[in-house]
Amino acid sequence: MSNFIHHQNWRYATKKFDTTKKISTEDLNILKEAIRLSSSSYGLQPYKVLIIENEDLREKLKPFAWGQSQITDASQLIVFANEINIGDAEIDTYINNISETRGIPAENLSGYGDFMKSKITPLAQDLKNIWTSKQTYLALGNLLNAAAELKIDVTPMEGFDATAFNEILGLTEKGLNASVIATIGYRHEDDDTQHYKKVRKSNEELFITL
């Protein structure tokens, strides 16, 4: 656990990436597995994760992310896209996955499936989309923690035009919406931000024990 805290103190939202350094396939696969293993409500994982390496595509996206240099300078751009208007079909797919993975007859899981449908399907579409968008942040958290352990820098970003990202990446027709993005790579030695002291609330300000 002491290493975990050390890694959290090491990481920061990188402002300037070293364009000459790329993440190895091995390390990228570890990050992908960390994202895949992230927790989510019911285990549904109601999102897709785009890993964008194409330089031309990132140049197209950059103006719609406030022109931030990380979009094009990082090793990869990650887009977490939540599923829109999730419903019975997605829940049935998940139930089938449980059945196949655990060797349980699907009919034995019908009660669990019906329970999820009773909680999710009746929600108004905007509430469903808010809920699935929240799930992407759980996956982002796993990415941040795994990357810090590998000494890979991550900059999580909400400063982007989701509508433009959806159009450029063709997400809307896939039933997806760009929820949150992150750039991953290695900090540039000239990025002064890495030397700033972390500013966080004190334990007294942050925690309430009842």
| pLDDT score recorded for residue 64 | 98
Residue 163: which domain range? 10-85+125-194
| pTM value surpassing 0.85 | yes
In a domain, 207, yes or no: no
The CATH number given to whatever domain includes residue 44 is 3.40.109.10
The tally of domains found in the chain comes to 1
- pLDDT tens for 132-169 read 999 999 999 999 999 999 999 999 999 999 999 999 99
Per-residue pLDDT, 71: 98
* Inter-CA distances, 92 with 54, 113, 115, 117, Å: 34, 7, 12, 9
pLDDT digits (tens, 9 = 90+) for 166-198: 999 999 999 999 999 999 999 999 999 999 999
If residue 140 lies in a helix (H) or strand (E), which one and from where to where? Answer: helix 125-149
Contacts of 60 (CB under 8 A, 6+ apart): 168
On whether residue 110 sits in a domain, the answer given is no
Residue 2 binned pLDDT confidence (cut-offs 50, 70, 90):
confident
Is there a domain that residue 43 lies in?
Answer: yes
Cα gap 28→184, rounded to integer Å: 10
Any domain includes 1: no
Residue 35 is assigned to a structural domain of this protein: yes
